[in-house]
Amino acid sequence: MLFNSITYFFFITIVFTLYWSLLRKNFRWQNLFLLIASYCFYGWWDVRFLILIFISSSVDFFLGRAIFRQTDKNKKLNLLRLCMLINLGMLGFFKYYNFFVDSFASLSANLGLQPNLKTLHIILPIGISFYTFQSLSYSIDIYRGKIQPTNNFISFMAFVSFFPQLVAGPIQRASDLLPQFLKARTFKSDRLISGFRYILYGLFKKMVIADRLAYFVDHIYDSPERFDGMVLLVATFMFGFQIYCDFSGYSDIAIGSARLLGFDLTQNFKTPYLSSSFKDFWRRWHISLSTWFRDYVYIPLGGNQVTQSRWTFNILLTFTLSGLWHGASLTFIIWGFLHGFFLVSEHYLSKVVTLPKSFSWIGFITTFVMVNLAWVFFRAHTFDQSLYIFSSFKNLNFDFVPKALALFAENNKFREFLISIVASFPLFIILEILINQNDFNSLILKRGIILRWSFYLILSFSILIFGVLNAAPQFIYFQF
């Protein structure tokens, strides 16, 4: 069930109506209703995978309580290890089994061995990486003594499966979201309006920007050998904006949907392409995941409270694992490693070179360019394809301009793409610059009623006129 579909519109309308009209006097009944609604939402893709999210949630609920009650440190640690084994075991099997089998087979073949290993036809359960990390962090935080377990099974199950953020985040910590399930929620009109505001802007970014850019990017990256370096470079930077608008658009709709039901989700993006450094970028991009890896991987490794060489290792390992989290492919691993390398290089370079504030634009341009070039590994279908694309950047020319104009004249879809981007992209850039100085909600509220409603109407008409309404692609992060 896609956020940008008529099906979801009817779904959220029904859920909202029943939730606030029939169940608003009892939050426990609301939680049960949200659990049922969330399982219906998730089962819309494949009802068979409901058993996985049920197992993951149940394991963390019961083992979390056992960890809390256990006084023996070794037994407490063993319970946590069991919890991690079950959760990461399911994630590893469904997401990484074939990848590691293929990798081991290739390595063995290079050594002259012929192991009899077979891959399996495994369907990746949608959202498994997100809800596994969310559920697992609950048990880890109990082990660390940061939170106490809940005795309310239904509320915990609803917390893990909460449909607005179930499939692609933001990954919520139990300390932030679970308490909201354990208390009464009251209907507030200002939250309703802010929820619709987030949904509207999310749909604009997804349907008008990301889905239009997808037409061009997919056309180029599906057969990069047909195009020269300049076209591939343009497509690469377009993908940078596509994935940002696609994923941040999803996050905005998730935040807005949750607000309609009385919940606050954490912000997942803060205008990352306006970052002045790689460190700043990772404070702004996919915040819920980057902070998860910081708290549960980087800091346990020693963080920055170690020698410089060990710190370098910690950063590189954390970001390499982050790349692997995104997908079972060498390209994702390289993408993650590259970002770790960027951060390490930036750290050591800052020790020998200090730029005055008047030259801060150098950091902005460097970060923007390198982040977008690294997307090649993220978007390319194979490692060899990514190498071909990078090699093509050696020969850049502007022959693509007359070719694009010819394509504009002949191809209706390309014409729609170009008109839509030219008409809507400036509005998106202006909003990003303004949001960089303010919270999105605060930015709109500071304006008068005429400006606010003009903003709503412009976004609405942009979606209706320029948005991809039929056969829209699914959100990119659904594959992770």
- How far is residue 365 from each of residues 333, 360, 369, measured CA to CA in Å? 25, 9, 6
CA-CA distance, 12 to 202, in Å (whole number)? 15
Q: Compute the Cα dihedral for 40, 262, 33, 265 and give only its sign.
A: positive
CA-CA distance, 232 to 107, in Å (whole number)? 32
- How far is residue 310 from each of residues 291, 299, 301, 315, 345, measured CA to CA in Å? 20, 12, 9, 9, 15
Helices 229-260 and 360-379 sit at what angle, rounded to 10 degrees?
Answer: 90
Give yes or no: 326 in active site: yes
CA-CA distance, 84 to 239, in Å (whole number)? 35
Which bin fits 282, alpha (ψ -120 to 50), beta or left (φ > 0)? alpha
Q: Which residue of the set 121, 326, 339, 347 is catalytic?
A: 326
- Say if CB 206 and CB 475 are below 8 A apart: yes
Nearest CA among 276, 258, 274 for reference residue 266: 258
SS3 358: helix
Catalytic residue IDs: 326
